[in-house]
Amino acid sequence: MKTLRLVYRLLFFVIYTSRIVAEIWLRGLIHGYDIRRAMRIRRRWARRLLPAVGIEIETEGEAPDFPCLIVGNHRSYLDPILLLRDVYAYPVAKAEVAGWPVIGKGARMAGILYLQRESAASRGDILRLIGKRIDAGFQVMIFPEGTTSGLPGTLPFRKGAFQLAARSGFSIVPVAFIFADPADYWIGNDTFAGHAGRRFREKRIQVKMCYGPVLRGEDADALMDEARGWIEKRLLAQ
Report the predicted TM-score, pTM, of the whole model to 2 decimal places.
Answer: 0.90
pLDDT of residue 97: 63
Report the C-alpha gap between 44 and 103 in whole angstroms: 15
CA-CA distances (angstroms) from residue 20 to 6, 25, 40, 192, 196? Answer: 21, 9, 11, 20, 20
Write down the pLDDT at residue 159.
93
Listing from the earlier edge strand, what are the strands of the sheet with 55-60?
Answer: 55-60, 205-211, 172-179, 69-72, 139-142, 89-94, 113-115
Q: How far apart are the first and last CA of the chain?
A: 31
Give the model's pLDDT for residue 106. 64
Q: pLDDT, tens digit, for every residue of 107-145?
A: 666 677 776 655 556 667 788 889 999 999 999 999 999
DSSP 110-154: TTPEEE-TT-HHHHHHHHHHHHHHHHTT-EEEE-TTSS---SSS-
The pLDDT score that the predictor gives to residue 122 is: 62
Residues of the chain with pLDDT under 50: none
